[in-house]
Amino acid sequence: MHGHALVALAEEEHVTEWTDISVGGLYGAARRLAADGLIESVRVERHGNYPERQVFGITDAGRETLRTMQREALTELSWRHDPVDLGVSRLDPDALDQLEEVVRDRRDRIAATLDEARAHRERIRTYLNAAEWIATKHGLYRLEAEVAWHDEFLAAVPDIIRDERNRSSQNKEDQ
């Protein structure tokens, strides 16, 4: 498949709707895949007055890498720490009075993103196959969990502020 056909297929499949793949970045990605030996040029085509197009095919190494990536994506667990956890566990003692407002704003922005994602998902439903539909649902569940966690965080803010102030005054007394 040549680059133009790949871009057309990506647009037809609406990959930007359910992945973070940029259609414009496909040409650069193809160059990197070729440099890594995962795809290779199989021929050059020219139709009419259009410029020549290099047609790529997946190599055996590319097929094996793809299979490995697919298998790992489904079998390996990948949990990364969220930077917000560090922010919560190491609060600025001079900014405790703004904590509730900051957390509420963050929660509201996530809730707005969730609402937008739900609406967007419904708009693109006809373009997605069953697997893509369920994959987009995963993203919604993650956003819903974030909203729920932020609600718990907001409920705990008074206790957190009290603990932080007690700890801060205790640290001053110990010095």
Name the helix (H) or strand (E) containing 40. Answer: strand 39-45
- Give the pLDDT of the chain (175 residues) as one tens digit per residue: 667 777 777 777 767 766 777 777 778 888 899 999 999 989 988 888 888 888 889 999 999 999 999 999 999 988 888 999 999 999 999 999 999 999 999 999 999 999 999 999 999 899 888 998 998 999 999 999 999 999 999 999 999 999 999 987 777 777 6
CA angle 22, 26, 27 (to 5 degrees): 140
**Measured CA angle at 1 (ends 10, 14), to 5 deg:** 5
With H, G, I as helix, E, B as strand and everything else as coil, classify residue 51. Answer: coil
CA 119/CA 12 separation, integer angstroms: 20
Rounded-to-integer distance, Cα 8 and Cα 150, Å:
40
Q: What pLDDT shows up at residue 134?
A: 93
